[in-house]
Structure 1
């Protein structure tokens, strides 16, 4: 696909998911008052708020915003299936997992959050999480309805 066409599609996706991105920006701005800091990550196409002060740890994506409780998004983490004891899998990079969610948001826009919640929320059963783990493991298959 020509670079100009790809850039146009990403721009249209960013506009489509803007309501989600605005939610992430509001949450990220609240975190700034408690020590979070933000920077743009070109590869993830997202503004990342590091040291976001709430939650159990890890990261959560809203559109083109990633809220991360740690210092470095390039940190290794386990897959949802590994954490749930369903499989022994090698570690993945959190950045790759969250990038898959950004791609999902670019396509689904405001439909992402309702579909994500209906699919099981933050759990190993959620097809969005399994797809993000698959993408982080292989570099392919970020679409939640792709064949494994």
Structure 2
């Protein structure tokens, strides 16, 4: 099942992946359930807001990023064992219906776990971009990764 383990990851390693199309229906559905602010729900209100148009919640952008990341990890056979948390999220630009999101990631650090000899911890920085190449969000993540054997 797993093909890529802690030992296979190098600091400085980069990768680009994903193509997630943002739809109006999904923006409104997510906002209705989790972030019901009017600029995520009402197109007329959103036109008068600082965003100028209906836009996705930042938390929705995180969810779309997570979907791209998990799909990528599963396709590669990455031995990820979950995350103890993130070091930061920044929402740089609004995400609008019709945008197509993708990701670029770079491994920034790694270390073996002091308490669990069967895994290591990997830190990465991800840039989430729209179809114009504009960074809409950054995320600094920590992931537990299984060691080989």
Q: Based on CA coordinates, which of the two structures has the bigger radius of gyration?
A: 2
Q: TM-score, normalised by structure 1?
A: 0.29
Structure number with greater CO (CA < 8 Å, separation at least 6) is 2
Q: Where is the strand percentage greater, Structure 1 or Structure 2?
A: 2
